[in-house]
Structure 1
Amino acid sequence: MLAEQWSGRTVVVTGGRGFIGAHFTAELAAAGAKVISLHRAGQAAPAPDGVQEIELDLLSTLEVDALFRYVGAHADTLVHCAGIDGNADFKKRNFGSILDSNVRITSNVLNGARDHGIGTVVLLSSAEIYSASSAGLVTEEDDYRKLMELSGDGYTLAKVFAELLADAYRQQFGMRVFLARPTNVYGPGDGLNPRSRRVIPAMLARIAAGEPVQIWGDGQQRRSFIHVHDLVHAVLEMVGDGSYDTFNVATRSSVSLLELARLLFAEFEVAERIELDTTKAGGAKARELSADKMYEVIGFTPRPLADGLRDTVHWYKSTLAH
């Protein structure tokens, strides 16, 4: 199905060597698209054969304008995955610089697409834009602006800004901007950068090192996870179909962090060692997304968490565990 929608198209992917961007680059190339992958200096993991790679500082307005002047005549789609991210400690220590950098990156990218005629823009947003106090399944129509949590981290606030700017550019300039709001993403390739480890690779690193997994709170806080391959396929099918400009990307199941840790210990086939720190806040009790729009359009069912964790642990053991 992806080949039918994307073969022959020219797609620019920002953050093309990052965790999610690298998967977009590979899947688009496999579907027959010509991919121009943008990455910042010093990033490892080169792209697949046939992908044009360009090193670019997305914070530089001059560099971005020059690049888009070059690709604008050929590209019809932009997938924006780039941004500064990190674990909770990194985000806390770099609140302002993360907010400033990601806001400027998004502005530069949207302005480049607007000024040089790239007709379709895909922005990777986040489920974190929704308020932690939202009850029940959160739909795309729930107005995150009514309960905007301005005390959040700079990464989340930059995602909110990106959505506000996308809405404004849709209205003022008639741009076709898709906003994908994924829940927690995991899978092969995550964990290469220790600074930005998400919950699953952070747990894997401790298990592989023979250390206990530490969970803040009582461990009962529930989260939804989506495998990175399923995220990429869902976003590309949603954009190819075009029925919805804004959509959640999630599975219909969730798991507590305590259950998640136990599943990972079982996949590693080692005894459980889990420490709960109830003196520290464990975050929202639950943040679960309605994915009805996504399931209406996509032609597959996202894999169960247990299958995705098995795939991820296999990759981790063969790549990083040593």
Structure 2
Amino acid sequence: MAADHWSGRTVLVTGVAGFIGSHFAEGLLARGARVIGLYRRDNRKVLAQLPATDRLRTVRLDLLDEAALNEVVAAEPDGVDAVVHCAALTGNAAFRRERPATVLDANMRTVSNVLGCARRHGTADVVLLGSGEVYLSATDRPTREEDDFRTFMKYAPDGYYLSKSYAEILAETYGEEYGMRVFRPRLTSIYGPRDNFEADTDRVVPRMFARAAAGEEIEIWGDGAQTRTYLYVTDLVDATLRMVEKDVHRIVNMGTPEAVSPIALARLVCGALGRPERYVLDREKSGGRPNRTFDLAKMREIADFRPRDLREGLRLTAAWYREHRMPPG
């Protein structure tokens, strides 16, 4: 059973006060693991939403401080069995374009520190959360894992894209030189409870939630015909942990086959919140590439469950949103 693999193990989770990191901590705790959660700040009060257990220890730490990271790992008498690296500097699209060096430098140094620390301390398994954004070149078919830097490599002044691409190259070379097991799930758009619903977010699902909850029109860029896929956050956690348990593939696309247009997504969000369907098209702005879908053959091979459909995932997200973000009444 999956729980048997993780029970009694010590797992270091970076970005534990963030959206995805908090769900990895929760999933590992449910499987009997002991979790050391690292965070830089908890400005969205995420830590209070995690289970109260002595198997969770949180440490405030800047991952750019390599010495501090090594001290935390070295202090574990029985060592750290696995690392799940979720922390990253992202920012909205404008920030990524305007400050590409800042984003690239911060993310590359944290990945380097995490990999170097794991190597020095003999950590068996490392998970680096990747992104579908490494597939900058469009294909006329669902994108395969091989359609990455090994096949296509382009420069773009986007610090996040660059950092995800170079982090994968660093992970690849660590595996080749040191024989490390570095697992790289590549994510489609992830959504769910504890996402970043702050006013400055440019993440599609949270932005739609905020607009619909406020009774405002949801703005959709382009003609609304482009399609994307969305994966519920706990399905990502479950599939990634199975990826480590089975150790069949070190790189796996994580997503669903359910591709929807932004118009369909807006309607589903409004329905989940019980709000009227209100959206407007801004044809002056680009909606991006017409579609982006993943080849999910490897994910189906390692994940012995079916990811929930978008309607169900949005219903669960809306339930959390009503409790934590919407004023009563």
TM range (shorter): over 0.9
Q: CA deviation at 1:38?
A: 0.6
Q: Structure 1 counterpart of 2:252, which letter? A: F
Q: Which residue of structure 2 lines up, in the alignment, with residue 268 of structure 1?
A: 273
Q: Structure 2 counterpart of 1:160, which letter? A: S
**Compared with structure 1, are the counterparts of its residues 196 and 145 closer, same or farther at alpha carbon in structure 2 (3 Å cutoff)?**
farther
Q: Which residue of structure 2 lines up, in the alignment, with residue 141 of structure 1?
A: 146
Q: Which residue of structure 1 lines up, in the alignment, with residue 124 of structure 2?
A: 119
Aligned equivalent of 1:314, options 304, 309, 319: 319
**Compared with structure 1, are the counterparts of its residues 72 and 237 closer, same or farther at alpha carbon in structure 2 (3 Å cutoff)?**
farther
Q: CA deviation at 1:119?
A: 1.3
Once structures 1 and 2 are overlaid, which stretch shifts more, 62-71 or 126-135? Answer: 62-71
1:183-198 map, 5 Å = 183-198=188-203
Give the SS at the match of 2:75.
Answer: helix
Distance 1:32 1:279 in 2: 51
Distance 1:152 1:303 in 2: 35
1:173-192 map, 5 Å = 173-192=178-197
Give the SS at the match of 2:64.
Answer: coil
Distance 1:252 1:59 in 2: 37
Q: Which residue of structure 1 lines up, in the alignment, with residue 52 of structure 2?
A: 49
Aligned equivalent of 2:261, options 252, 256, 264: 256
Once structures 1 and 2 are overlaid, which stretch shifts more, 93-102 or 285-294? Answer: 93-102
Once structures 1 and 2 are overlaid, which stretch shifts more, 18-27 or 194-203? Answer: 194-203
Q: Structure 2 counterpart of 1:313, which letter? A: A
8 A Cα contact 1:72 1:116, kept in partner: no
Distance 2:108 2:27 in 1: 27
Q: Which residue of structure 1 lines up, in the alignment, with residue 95 of structure 2?
A: 90
8 A Cα contact 1:73 1:117, kept in partner: no
Q: Which residue of structure 1 lines up, in the alignment, with residue 9 of structure 2?
A: 9
Q: CA deviation at 1:241?
A: 0.9
Q: CA deviation at 1:66?
A: 2.0
Q: Structure 2 counterpart of 1:14, which letter? A: T
Distance 2:77 2:217 in 1: 50
**Compared with structure 1, are the counterparts of its residues 154 and 145 closer, same or farther at alpha carbon in structure 2 (3 Å cutoff)?**
farther
Distance 1:225 1:206 in 2: 19
Q: CA deviation at 1:237?
A: 0.8
Q: CA deviation at 1:27?
A: 0.8
Q: How many residues align?
A: 322
Give the SS at the match of 1:303.
Answer: coil
Q: Which residue of structure 1 lines up, in the alignment, with residue 114 of structure 2?
A: 109
Q: CA deviation at 1:71?
A: 3.5
Q: Verify: 1:18 aligned to 2:21, yes or no.
A: no
Unaligned ranges ≥5, structure 2: none
Q: Which residue of structure 2 lines up, in the alignment, with residue 213 of structure 1?
A: 218
TM-score by length of 1: 0.95
Q: CA deviation at 1:65?
A: 2.4
Distance 2:63 2:312 in 1: 36
Give the SS at the match of 1:281.
Answer: coil
Give the SS at the match of 2:67.
Answer: helix
8 A Cα contact 1:72 1:113, kept in partner: no
RMSD between superposed Cα atoms in Å: 1.6
Q: Structure 1 counterpart of 2:37, which letter? A: S
1:64-93: CA deviation from partner (whole Å, max 9, x where unpaired): 222232238421100000111222233334
8 A Cα contact 2:97 2:157, kept in partner: no
Q: CA deviation at 1:134?
A: 2.2
**Compared with structure 1, are the counterparts of its residues 109 and 237 closer, same or farther at alpha carbon in structure 2 (3 Å cutoff)?**
same
